């Protein structure tokens, strides 16, 4: 009989996952599996988590929450060298990596995949001793995800991020960035930069059509300083799923190593969570994490 640790975030998304917990447990028990709920804590690292996984001899870990919850679970899994696959039950405000895997549309099928052990190794990015699964960003707009009130996120969902982002536009200014991408040096005045693992970021599904989660590379999308009409055109194209890397204000690179530096104090964001201050070095770790997939 298989056993799974269900690590859920009690305040993720609309904070209603607790009411779905019994149904999730029933779905696994009806398939002759044991599901053990584990309530995640606010702290980024919880040593009790690894002890639970080892002591119950779990066949897998299931992260129930959004991208931030997945980020936390993956970091604890990798830092503690837990050799078990990770699955996702998307229930957060933002569920980009789960969306890329197609979990929402085929949830019952995905549960069967977890139980039967259908897995795939995927790449992760690393900055020092911190891992990220989907995206790192830096520049203007980076702080939006951390500044939106939890109550607004629970009420308006992803719209809360977009409203907050629009409010930042009048304060946009260019930042002098130096970027290294596998040895190539780029110096530009930019608004912001993304480095992505999957093509889904901020619920936009085609940020980078060439991005793959198991190719040993990450995809950088850099937005140069430009005027507001040019910026709004790029935003409109992105919303429509038509991001064009031929645009003169966008630089696109695939690489396994990046380095960002800027004379200003610039924060980074890892999977929607507050990241380190620049400068920073980003490494791709190929096939680092085993995940349950459809």
**pLDDT, tens only, 38-77:** 999 877 778 889 999 999 999 999 999 999 999 999 999 9
Among 6, 21, 15, residue whose Cα is nearest residue 154: 15
The predicted structure's pLDDT at residue 11:
78
The predicted structure's pLDDT at residue 163:
45
The predicted structure's pLDDT at residue 187:
98
Whether the upstream peptide bond of residue 167 has omega within 30° of 0, thus cis, is no
Q: Which domains does the chain have, with CATH numbers?
A: 3-117 (3.40.50.10330), 132-287 (2.60.200.40)
Please say whether the dihedral angle defined by the alpha carbons of residues 267, 273, 276 and 279, taken in this order, is positive or negative: negative
The predicted structure's pLDDT at residue 41:
83
Mean of pLDDT over the chain: 89
Evaluate whether 277 touches 266 at the Cβ level (below 8 Å).
yes
The predicted structure's pLDDT at residue 138:
96
What average pLDDT does range 273-291 have in this prediction? 97
Q: In which band, very low, low, confident or very high, does the pLDDT at 170 lie, cut at 50, 70 and 90?
A: low
Say how far apart CA 198 and CA 150 lie, in whole Å: 26
The predicted structure's pLDDT at residue 145:
54
Query: Above 80 in pLDDT, residue 253?
Result: yes
Query: Above 50 in pLDDT, residue 159?
Result: no
Task: List, for residues 14-36, the tens digit of each pLDDT value.
Answer: 667 877 889 999 999 999 999 99
The predicted structure's pLDDT at residue 149:
52
Q: What is the pTM of this model?
A: 0.89
Higher pLDDT: 140 or 254? It is 254
The predicted structure's pLDDT at residue 95:
93
Quick one: how far is CA 265 from the chain centroid? 23
> In the numeric block, which tokens belong to residue 54?
């080892």
Query: Above 50 in pLDDT, residue 156?
Result: no
What average pLDDT does range 108-115 have in this prediction? 95
Task: List, for residues 183-197, the tens digit of each pLDDT value.
Answer: 999 999 999 999 999
């Amino acid at each position: 009989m298989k056993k799974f640790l269900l690590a859920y975030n009690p305040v993720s998304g609309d904070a209603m996952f607790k009411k779905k917990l019994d149904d999730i447990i029933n779905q696994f028990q009806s398939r002759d599996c044991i599901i053990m709920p584990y309530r995640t804590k606010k702290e980024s690292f919880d040593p009790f988590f690894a002890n639970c996984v080892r002591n119950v001899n779990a066949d897998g870990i299931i992260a129930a929450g959004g991208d931030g919850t997945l980020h936390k679970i993956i970091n604890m899994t990798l830092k503690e060298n837990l050799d078990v696959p990770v699955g996702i039950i998307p229930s957060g405000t933002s569920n980009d990596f789960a969306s890329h895997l197609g979990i929402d549309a085929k949830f019952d099928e995905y549960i069967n995949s977890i139980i039967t052990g259908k897995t795939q190794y995927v790449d992760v990015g690393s900055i020092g001793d911190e891992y990220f699964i989907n995206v790192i960003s830096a520049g203007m707009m980076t702080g939006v995800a951390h500044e939106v009130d939890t109550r607004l996120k629970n009420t308006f969902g992803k719209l809360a991020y977009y409203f907050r982002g629009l409010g930042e536009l009048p304060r946009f200014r260019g930042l002098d960035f130096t970027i290294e991408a596998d040895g190539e040096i780029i110096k530009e005045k930019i608004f912001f930069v993304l480095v992505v693992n999957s093509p889904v970021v901020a619920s936009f599904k085609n940020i980078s059509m060439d991005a793959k989660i198991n190719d040993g590379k990450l995809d950088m999308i850099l937005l140069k300083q430009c005027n507001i009409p040019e910026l709004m055109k790029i935003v409109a194209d992105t919303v429509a799923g038509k991001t064009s890397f031929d645009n003169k204000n966008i630089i696109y690179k695939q690489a396994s190593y990046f380095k960002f530096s800027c004379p200003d104090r610039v924060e980074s964001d890892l999977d929607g969570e507050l990241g380190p201050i620049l400068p920073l070095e980003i490494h791709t770790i190929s096939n680092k994490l085993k995940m349950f997939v459809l």
